């Protein structure tokens, strides 16, 4: 799953991301950054994540828009 960080408090570790597919807001699990390259998150940062049994975002990894591909808007850019 992939999404964008909506908010993150580095003091408490609490945060919310917005899922790319359904735009649902998901809270970050307490262990979301454990074993991750992230030490801190910033608003607008793209991440790949898993969902815990409780529906929390966990195991955050680097995300990229390339992972989902570019949307096909049906427009001819050149013309």
In a domain, 17, yes or no: yes
What CATH number corresponds to the domain at position 50?
2.40.50.140
Check residue 38 and give its pLDDT. Answer: 82
Residues facing 4 on adjacent strands = 18, 46
Q: What is the pLDDT of residues 17-48, one digit of tens each?
A: 999 999 999 999 999 998 888 888 999 999 99
Count the domains in the chain: 1
67's enclosing H/E stretch is: helix 65-68
In a domain, 56, yes or no: yes
1's enclosing H/E stretch is: none
Q: Which domain holds residue 48?
A: 2-66
């Amino acid at each position: 799953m992939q999404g964008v960080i909506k908010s993150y408090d580095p003091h408490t570790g609490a945060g919310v991301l917005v899922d790319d597919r359904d735009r649902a807001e998901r809270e970050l699990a307490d262990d979301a950054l454990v074993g991750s390259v992230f030490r801190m998150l910033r608003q607008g940062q793209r991440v790949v994540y898993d969902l815990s049994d409780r529906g929390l975002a966990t195991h955050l990894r680097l995300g990229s828009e390339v992972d989902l591909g570019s949307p096909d808007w049906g427009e001819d850019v050149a013309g």
